[in-house]
Amino acid sequence: MIADILLPEISENVESGDVVKILVSPGDRIEVDQPLIELETEKAVFEVPSTVAGTVSEILVRVGDAVKVSEVLARIDTNSESAGASASAEQKKSSAATAEAKPNRESSKPAVDQVSAAVEKVVATASSSKPAVAPSTDPAPASPTVRRLARELGLDINAVPGTAAGGRISAEDVRAFAKSIIQGAASAGGAGGPAPITLPDFSKFGEIERAPMSKIRQVTARNLARTWNIVPAVTQNDEADITNLETARRKYGPRVSEAGGKLTMTAILLKVCASALERFPEFNASVDIANQEIIYKKYYNIGVAVDTENGLLVPVMRDVIDKNIVDLSVELSQMAARARDRKLTPAEMEGANFTISNLGGIGGTGFSPIVNTPEVAILGVSRGKMTPTYIDGKFEPRLIMPLSLSYDHRAIDGAAAARFLRWICEALEHPILLALDN
């Protein structure tokens, strides 16, 4: 029996990816969960495994192909193994259900991306005064595919008027609604934002070379531009005296190494920041402008920016508040290695409430990190420096580490940001504060 291997659902709002490597060939014997291809999405590079055992009959994709969820990647002959035949029947059943739930798009992905970017500009610039989409309490009559299209375009499906029988909402209704928002903004005086900059012909001035942006760079550029448009961000700076902490870090580093991790300042900051988020809940929140609400979260997931050859990736450490520093050090080391090896899954980069970006290993005296919306704050860490500090009538050499907190001013006031960052500094200087306040 021939079993089709489909591209499974990747993660929310990620519906396609590019094939970067094919790991098997026709005629190869494979087992269940053996990787077949390596796929790159906007968020990560990961392996797609086989759901059955058998012999590779056919590979239906090539390196460089863009594939969508539910598209057939390969066919596996499971006749030689009864277990494989049984799994194949289950696979066909699952494939049919997946195909029904996720039919092919009615329009191409590039077109969706273009409309989405335009709608994001309109909503971003208009949301501070009047939300472009008003939510409804009644469920909208629309298929899962149409709902997904609306999410990709940044629309509330409940606000889209349906023109099909019984008021059902079609994909064309969603596109028409998005178009009306863009056109309305343009007629209102260019609320959709400035037009893209037209570049000069640089080749007139000298030799040039063009290179395509990677998917990671594309999504980074899009997300940061969107954040820059909608988040009124402010950066608060402070300094922490980590002289004693650095002594302790070096002393207990070997114990953490024995456990399989590395006791870094970032690992320590994970625990400190989780405690700070618990003490200052306005930083463990998101702004819901459409509903004029602040969403306070009762869990503590923290993203850590990792510099890789392929761009910036932000794996998410989950439930940080419940883990000790040794556990966090081990997990962080593993996550960073997976990020650099391009093995992170999209799910491992979702769900953060707060982000830490540590550039201390590179250098610098301070910077203004961009808030990773829908988070409301991000902590930037720069390199510590020995500084003469006046203490009890004399100067002493102290290791001072600069910290920079960027925050969303819609949710957080300056005084609250100053208190939050000062608490982090004091917790680094006097770790007993963690025990006293928790």
Catalytic (active-site) positions:
409
Closest Cα partner for 274 from 438, 422, 400, 384?
A: 438
Q: Residue 307 is inside which H or E element, if any?
A: strand 306-308
- The bridge status of strand 72-77 relative to strand 54-59 is antiparallel
How far is it, in rounded angstroms, from Cα 178 to Cα 117? 11
Cβ-contact 265, 249 below 8 angstroms: yes
User: What does the alpha-carbon distance between residue 134 and residue 121 come to, in Å, rounded to a whole number?
Assistant: 17
Give the tokens for residue 362: 């590179």
Does residue 434 contact residue 272 with C-beta atoms inside 8 Å? yes
H/E segment holding residue 329: helix 325-340
Going from the C-alpha of 235 to that of each of 206, 239, 295, 336, the distances in angstroms are 39, 13, 22, 26
- Quick one: which of 418, 423, 417, 425 has its CA closest to 437? 423
Q: Which residue has the tokens 């997904």?
A: 148
Of the candidates 107, 231, 130, the one whose C-alpha atom is nearest the C-alpha of residue 179 is 107
Which run of H or of E encompasses 415? Answer: helix 414-429
Asked whether the beta carbons of 404 and 236 are under 8 A apart, the reply is yes
The whole-angstrom separation of Cα 278 and Cα 238 is: 20
Q: Can you list the alpha helix ranges (DSSP code H) found in 34-81?
A: none
DSSP assignment string, 218-267: HHHHHHHHHHHHH--EEEEEEEEE-HHHHHHHHHHHHHHHHTT----HHH
Q: Strand, coil or helix: what is 79?
A: coil
Asked if residue 43 lies in contact with residue 11, where contact means CB atoms within 8 angstroms, the answer is yes
Contact (Cβ atoms closer than 8 angstroms) between residue 345 and residue 360: no
What's the rounded Cα separation, in Å, for the pair 26 and 283?
Answer: 53
